[in-house]
Amino acid sequence: DVKVTQSSRYLVKRTGEKVFLECVQDMDHENMFWYRQDPGLGLRLIYFSYDVKMKEKGDIPEGYSVSREKKERFSLILESASTNQTSMYLCASSLTATNEKLLFGSGTQLSVL
């Protein structure tokens, strides 16, 4: 059963902590994405990657970085977490460069206190 797996469903962190959100896909997909989802704002793209060691900024990259050392794994890093980064974080992958369909993980609900 193909899937995108996010390492944590719920996380609670303190302001200023460094936070790692991990995402793994088992479908040999080229593209991987990180979105955050907030009430009233919908899904917003943070970063994406179309190949190993490649990364591109999305619409809201400020305060975030990413790492893609292996094809199957895409990590989102909050260098110094802030309360306005409290959100649902969704990882997704797609097979080709044309976004034919996104397969999402179940999400990580992050609370920064």
Partner 1 sequence: TQLLEQSPQFLSIQEGENLTVYCNSSSVFSSLQWYRQEPGEGPVLLVTVVTGGEVKKLKRLTFQFGDARKDSSLHITAAQPGDTGLYLCAGEFKGGGADGLTFGKGTHLIIQP
- Using the minimum distance from each CB to partner 1, give the nearer residue, 3 or 14: 3
Q: How far is the CB of 16 from partner 1 (least distance, A)?
A: 28
Instruction: Confirm if 17 and 10 have CB atoms less than 8 A apart.
Output: no
Six-digit token pair at 103? 């397969």
Q: How far is the CB of 60 from partner 1 (least distance, A)?
A: 10
- Using the minimum distance from each CB to partner 1, give the nearer residue, 12 or 97: 97
Q: How far is the CB of 15 from partner 1 (least distance, A)?
A: 25
Q: How far is the CB of 103 from partner 1 (least distance, A)?
A: 8
- Residue 12 carries which side chain, given as an amino acid letter? V
- Using the minimum distance from each CB to partner 1, give the nearer residue, 30 or 72: 30
Q: How far apart, in Å, are the Cα atoms of 92 and each of 26, 51, 82?
A: 12, 14, 23
- Using the minimum distance from each CB to partner 1, give the nearer residue, 11 or 43: 43
Distance between CA atoms of 39 and 78, rounded to whole angstroms? Answer: 21
Query: For residues 5, 7, 10 and 14, what is the CA-based torsion angle, rounded to 10 degrees?
Result: -140
Question: Which positions lie near partner 1, rule CB under 8 A?
Answer: 4, 9, 30-31, 33, 35, 40-45, 48, 50, 56, 58-59, 90, 92, 97-107
CA 13: distance to chain centroid? 17
